[in-house]
Structure 1
């Protein structure tokens, strides 16, 4: 959960290194470590030694450290990154200050992405990819084994598209935005279509649907998919987004930064979580009740997928929006009932609410999609957010994403090994 920042200090108040260290509860050397990591800014004392620090910055950092450590002394263990992309509150989140759920339900995925990148709305914008990029990505993806997962396919497609782009090392804002507008449709086009007769065209959600489902794209479920893409565009500094910013800090090009994010989302606690929720929903549908399925999960010592989120004490706002839209999809009724049964059954032992993975599972399980479809939706959607964070990081000091290791090995010097 993200709280509001504390009130501003006097704008002209400056602190000495000693004062800053005392306020933060750290050694003076650690204060300069914060500066090297980009968490504090400093100003040299005129005609003297040492530096001064903005009191507002120091107090905000001390407050964040106390919050992240549960109220204890500031440890500096958490990396704090200034961003203008997404703000998460206790029961909602915002893209550049605008309610993300309202934005995603009223605008297409492409329009949401443009807002995130530029802070401007481009009505009815569509993304298209150059044929050379699509052809290179398709050839690379087609060479993979049939059982290859979606994150691997998308990562290979991104690498192939990068190799086909001689301008990939241009990190100017215009060039990176051009990359984003062509990379995302390239990723979708590189995935094998479910129908041999499928033809690409229209909004990105419609093109992606043909890669996920054997069924025709009806209006209501297609709107759910488009909204899901918009809702998943970004979610602050999730693990994959942090990996993207680390890559961008080292000035890796946009394709490589996206590849870093794709590598992280394969974990079952991140992008792949929706696949576990899909299988759970499907099993409840097969069994006719959540009770025996939940009992078996708990007996095996497994956490129930699709429930709870560390940033929201209540229901995930993304899940709330998708569940409401799925109410308008008749074929989703059985899976929706199964999801509610899961939440109600688990509420007897743990008051956990549905998260976006469970909502994605209802969509994928009810629309003829495979269990991995949610991971594909997540990865394609989040690519736009990764680009937004990469753009921010390109404007920061290079290599600032360099936390200090806390060495706990044998005390040196040790004798050479025999």
Structure 2
């Protein structure tokens, strides 16, 4: 169902895109501490009690003790009498080398992927069917034509606007125009990440110290920062340019125009859906950086630039694109992935530890890319290669690779996918900054001191 309780319409009636069905899976009831929830888990992520005891070298009573202390989660298979155990938890308990035999505490594991929650948040919940923003399914939001602006305000205020918001325009001062010209002149020598950081830092600097706190309401500051980032997509063009909008425009339209693409209805809807899908992903690394900055009083500009500078997602998207563009042909692309898979390496653009049976956002974006291709009467190389690799190696594209396929189907410049992911995530970072300010405490993790083996 959609956010208003009705049945979701097709995403693009003219393109035939609807909500994607989940991939085949098996359901287990997942147990974590004293909470039971139904979750989608694959066989490869679970172990029997005998396998867990053998890997840890412990007796059954010790295994149960780890479970009771919350160090190892269990899953119950329907119709089975015995529990199964999460492989990642068993492996985490077995990693004792650096700690000289001591088990990681729940607080220590909270700072590692797959560990216990580290703080409370009412913004995003991760489920097997994709994220939920303030309790609303991100796939349903994307399917029901929710604009990025409405999605952002849902994240910031916990309420989904009924009417389309009218956002504050950024101010193009004479000083900023000079800075923008200089940034455009060096754009071709730089990657997207430093260009995006330069764009918003320059905008803030042109307005003077204290702008983000004294002269504007926080929501207006947030709106202007996002609009500046959308305008910065012009820096990715073959002939870079960086011009702020002089009239109100949807962020998706501004992004497309800045990147040199025609903002057709299909293109605008596709970009809006992609921005909505990627707007937040719970406590990702860059989001945690945002909350740390906000907890010590950093303004929105500093919080966003800090998150951008540490945003791994943009770098992963860039690595995935470089691999696709540099492979030469699909056989070489699949061969490279197969070698990495055999060596146990992470495959750029495939799989995600939060989704054991495939990233539903990636599936949605791949379906959208295929439909855009069909509507345009063309065949995207990226879409074809990703589909062939998925079938050959039994792997599923994640949201970053789905963005690459969509951007290629729209003939957007190289680097657009990673930049789009960063722009989208800015809405989530701002929501977390707002929430952290309201919490009123400083985030300051502690370390466990260990003796250096080489110390004398």
Q: TM-score range by the shorter chain?
A: 0.7 to 0.9
**Partner in structure 1 of residue 219 of structure 2:** 177
**Partner in structure 1 of residue 190 of structure 2:** 148
Instruction: Please give the per-residue CA displacement for 1:29-59, whole angstroms capped at 9, x wherever unaligned.
Output: xxxxxxxxxxxxxxxxxxxxxxxxxxxxxxx
Structure 2 CA distance for partners of 1:228 and 1:63, relative to 1, 3 Å: farther
Say what the alpha-carbon RMSD is for the aligned residues: 3.4
The 5-angstrom pairing of residues 131-170 of structure 1 reads: 131-132=172-173, 135=177, 138-139=180-181, 141-142=183-184, 144=186, 146-163=188-205, 164-168=207-211, 170=213
**Partner in structure 2 of residue 245 of structure 1:** 291
Structure 2 CA distance for partners of 1:136 and 1:332, relative to 1, 3 Å: farther
Q: Whole-Å Cα distance in 2 between the matches of residues 316 and 241 of structure 1?
A: 19
- Of the structure 1 ranges 323-332 and 97-106, higher mean CA displacement relative to structure 2 is found in 323-332
**Partner in structure 2 of residue 344 of structure 1:** 391
**Partner in structure 2 of residue 205 of structure 1:** 252
**Given the alignment, which residue of 107, 117, 135 partners 1:76?**
107
Question: Does the aligned pair in 2 maintain the 1:272–1:372 contact within 8 Å?
Answer: no
Q: Whole-Å Cα distance in 2 between the matches of residues 217 and 299 of structure 1?
A: 42
Scaled by the length of structure 2, the TM-score of the pair is 0.67
Structure 2 CA distance for partners of 1:197 and 1:216, relative to 1, 3 Å: farther
Question: Does the aligned pair in 1 maintain the 2:286–2:307 contact within 8 Å?
Answer: yes
Question: Does the aligned pair in 1 maintain the 2:231–2:244 contact within 8 Å?
Answer: no
**Partner in structure 2 of residue 54 of structure 1:** none
**Given the alignment, which residue of 143, 146, 153 partners 1:107?**
146
Question: Does the aligned pair in 2 maintain the 1:88–1:235 contact within 8 Å?
Answer: yes
Q: Whole-Å Cα distance in 1 between the matches of residues 243 and 295 of structure 2?
A: 40
Structure 2 CA distance for partners of 1:115 and 1:275, relative to 1, 3 Å: same
Q: Which SS does the other structure have where 1:156 is aligned?
A: helix
Q: Whole-Å Cα distance in 1 between the matches of residues 262 and 326 of structure 2?
A: 25
Say yes or no: does 1:119 pair with 2:158.
yes
Q: Whole-Å Cα distance in 1 between the matches of residues 367 and 33 of structure 2?
A: 32
Q: Give 1:251 deviation, angstroms.
A: 0.7
**Partner in structure 1 of residue 48 of structure 2:** none
**Partner in structure 2 of residue 311 of structure 1:** 354
Q: Whole-Å Cα distance in 2 between the matches of residues 378 and 285 of structure 1?
A: 25
Q: Which SS does the other structure have where 1:82 is aligned?
A: coil
Q: Whole-Å Cα distance in 1 between the matches of residues 70 and 121 of structure 2?
A: 15
Q: Mind listing any 5+ residue stretches in structure 1 that lack a counterpart?
A: 9-61
Instruction: Please give the per-residue CA displacement for 1:249-272, whole angstroms capped at 9, x wherever unaligned.
Output: 11111100001101111x4xx222
Q: Give 1:64 deviation, angstroms.
A: 6.3
Q: Whole-Å Cα distance in 1 between the matches of residues 286 and 242 of structure 2?
A: 35
Q: Give 1:238 deviation, angstroms.
A: 0.4
Q: Whole-Å Cα distance in 1 between the matches of residues 343 and 127 of structure 2?
A: 34
The 5-angstrom pairing of residues 252-271 of structure 1 reads: 252-265=298-311, 267=312, 270-271=313-314
Question: Does the aligned pair in 2 maintain the 1:364–1:373 contact within 8 Å?
Answer: yes
**Partner in structure 1 of residue 22 of structure 2:** none
Structure 2 CA distance for partners of 1:148 and 1:192, relative to 1, 3 Å: same
**Given the alignment, which residue of 391, 398, 414 partners 1:355?**
398
Q: Mind listing any 5+ residue stretches in structure 2 that lack a counterpart?
A: 1-29, 37-67, 74-85, 94-102, 112-117
- Of the structure 1 ranges 145-154 and 176-185, higher mean CA displacement relative to structure 2 is found in 145-154
**Partner in structure 1 of residue 130 of structure 2:** 92
**Partner in structure 2 of residue 234 of structure 1:** 280
**Partner in structure 1 of residue 436 of structure 2:** 393
Q: Give 1:160 deviation, angstroms.
A: 2.1
**Given the alignment, which residue of 145, 165, 170 partners 1:129?**
170
Q: Which SS does the other structure have where 2:439 is aligned?
A: coil
Say yes or no: does 1:366 pair with 2:409.
yes
Q: Which SS does the other structure have where 1:271 is aligned?
A: helix
- Of the structure 1 ranges 383-392 and 296-305, higher mean CA displacement relative to structure 2 is found in 296-305
Structure 2 CA distance for partners of 1:274 and 1:7, relative to 1, 3 Å: closer
